[in-house]
Structure 1
Amino acid sequence: MGKHCFGYALSLSIVVSLALIAFVSCVAAELHRTKTKDLKLDGKLCYLPESQAFGYGVAALACLVMAQVIGNILLCTSCSINSREKKRSEQPPKRPNLATFFLVVSWASFTVVILLLIAASSMSRQQPYATGWLGGECYLVKSGVYVAAAILILISICTTVGSAVTVRMNESRKSTTLPK
């Protein structure tokens, strides 16, 4: 059991570390996003240079996806171990309500963060004259978009970790109360 707890704690720390890297990348992207002063107009045509926010946004996206996948693998592993033990004890399976709530919140915020980061990062790429981002027009990422993504990253990962920990605590509580 000690080896499993160490591996579980190590995996959770990897998830949290990846989430913190994603959070910091979002803050860096907010600081380095394209500003209005960078916009160049030539009549009706516009030009925006590529900003460093693109790289930071992609890094945040990659780290967040890895953290979410690893966190959900931990959760699924705990749930499968838990369901095998329930089959042995012949008790009807009980769904942990708090863990399910955390999981739903995690995936909802994860989905919104992914959409925000994809849109904001693609707007941070170079937008040449007459090409723009969409329909030949230049678009700027509004201030606060990357910060909102950073906050949602924290919500997503905290609820993923919370769900995994809740399932693990329920599992350990039941294993100590079952007669051997």
Structure 2
Amino acid sequence: METPSRFKFTQLFFLIISLSSGLISCILCIVAEVKRNKKEDIRWSGNMCYLPPNQAFGCGIAALACFCVAQITANSIFFKNSCSGWKRNAMFKIPAISKILFLISWFSFGFAVILLITATSMSRRQPFGVGWLDGECYLVKGGTYVGSAILILVALASITGSALSTKKTSHVDQGRKIHVQNGMT
């Protein structure tokens, strides 16, 4: 059985990993926004276009990887808190606010991943005649990576809030125990 101090240290460690990975992902999204191809980067050869490779592709991949690490780590904290509360007390219920925050985090995660995958895919080199889709060159619209960064922050805040609200309620159940002292009267 884990000692309480080890339990708190492990959760604090995972929380720090989750928050730092999420913040790194946001920073990488902002860097990708700055480094994305602009309209003046398009080169034309007759009716075929060409977009050179840029650093937004690498930043987008790194942002996606960091965001997945942050989401998985924060979810492990949430499930550890909710499962340990359920094991200690058969009457334990996950609070409604925790469930709502958990769903918000997964919706934000899904939308952010879709935005990041699409924008990152468009940031690859688009050779003459190949393009991104149907032989045409496409540019990432301004604000797409920033929108992803905002969704990352929403997902990170909501899953962290969900994990912490579950932890808070699991400690309340321990306060109701009656301790009987043995000894001389």
Both proteins in one fold, TM over 0.5: yes
Percent identity over the alignment is 38
Q: CA deviation at 1:95?
A: 3.1
SS of residue matched to 1:174: helix
Q: CA deviation at 1:155?
A: 0.3
Question: For 1:86-135, what per-residue CA distance to the aligned partner results, in whole angstroms no more than 9, with x for missing partners?
Answer: 22xxx3x4231010000000000000000000000000000000000000
Q: CA deviation at 1:58?
A: 0.3
**Structure 2 partner of 1:147:** 146
Q: Which runs of 5+ in 1 are unaligned?
A: none
**Structure 2 partner of 1:76:** 79
Q: Does 1:116 align with 2:115?
A: yes
Question: For 1:46-74, what per-residue CA distance to the aligned partner results, in whole angstroms no more than 9, with x for missing partners?
Answer: 00011100000000000000110111111
Greater than 6 Å deviation, 4+ residue runs: none
SS of residue matched to 2:89: helix
Q: Does 1:172 align with 2:171?
A: yes
Once the two structures are superposed, the pairs formed by residues 2-151 of structure 1 within 5 Å of their partners are: 2-87=5-90, 91=91, 93-151=92-150
SS of residue matched to 2:165: helix
Question: For 1:25-54, what per-residue CA distance to the aligned partner results, in whole angstroms no more than 9, with x for missing partners?
Answer: 000000000011100111210000111000
Which has the higher Rg, Structure 1 or Structure 2? 2
Q: Which runs of 5+ in 2 are unaligned?
A: 180-185
**Structure 1 partner of 2:159:** 160
SS of residue matched to 2:49: strand
Give the alignment's TM-score, normalised by structure 1.
0.95
Q: More displaced, 114-123 or 36-45? A: 36-45
Distance 1:170 1:73 in 2: 17
Give the alignment's TM-score, normalised by structure 2.
0.92
